[in-house]
Chain A
Amino acid sequence: MELGDKAIGFFLLTFSFSLFAYYTFWVVILPFMDGDHFVHKYFLPKEYAIIIPTVTGVAVLSFLMVFIGFIMLKSKPKAL
């Protein structure tokens, strides 16, 4: 169990760092490059830099809300 937790932690750390690096390159560094540079073909168009985070955020938020709702439904009401 302990090893699994460590693996999950390592995966989270790697994922967040790579996401940060990719997004930084996409949003901050790419505007300063020439329009016909070859790195442009490794990145989606600029609109997706807003669309993907928005969709992800809405999905995560709704999942959290549904999860909280399930927890509240499952927990027994306190006897008054």
Chain B
Amino acid sequence: MRHILKIAGLLAVLLAVWIGLLQSSLISPQDALLLPVYLIIALGCYGLGMVGIGLLVFPTCPKEALLLEKDVAEAKAFFREIWGGCQFP
């Protein structure tokens, strides 16, 4: 709940700054109208970059995978010994 309040506050501040820029003649209104689109583009870039970072640092554990495969083979051999004649896929 606090998080959503923080985001809402940030959006309100951005809206206030934007309206201020629109009212003042610091930059031309044609350029100031582009800023929300810029915000959306920045958000999209952030999301895409986060997906990229997630893919880049995705943890894989090849050592543990080898150990697990060894365990599976061991278990299969063990059960084959107990129930001889049973078929395992």
To the question of whether A and B form a pair in one complex, the answer is: yes
**Using a CB–CB distance below 8 Å, which chain B residues touch chain A?**
27-28, 30-31, 34-35, 37-38, 40-42, 44-46, 48-49, 51-58, 60
Bound together, the chains give a CA A46 to CA B56 distance in angstroms of 35
Apart from A13-B52, A20-B41, A23-B41: 11 A-B pairs, beta carbons within 8 A: A5-B58, A8-B55, A12-B52, A13-B56, A16-B44, A16-B49, A16-B52, A23-B38, A23-B45, A28-B38, A46-B30
User: Which residue in chain A gives the minimum CB-CB distance to B40?
Assistant: A53
Q: Does A63 contact B (CB under 8 A)?
A: no
Chain A's interface size range is 20 to 34
Instruction: Report yes or no: A11 in contact with B52, Cβ–Cβ below 8 A.
Output: yes
A6 contact from B38, B51, B55, Cβ within 8 A: B55
Q: Mark A29-70, 1 if CB is under 8 A from B, else 0.
A: 001100000000000001001100100000000000000000
Within 8 Å CB of B46, what residues of A? 16
Instruction: Point out residues on A near B: beta carbons under 8 Å.
Output: 2, 5-6, 8-17, 19-20, 23-24, 27-28, 31-32, 46, 49-50, 53
Q: Which residues of A contact B60 (CB under 8 A)?
A: 2
Closest to A17 in B: B49
Q: How far apart are the CA atoms of A16 and B34 in the complex, in Å? A: 19
Could you say which residues of chain B place their CB within 8 Å of the CB of A13?
A: 49, 52-53, 56
Contacts A16-B48, A17-B49; A53 near B55 (Cβ below 8 A): no
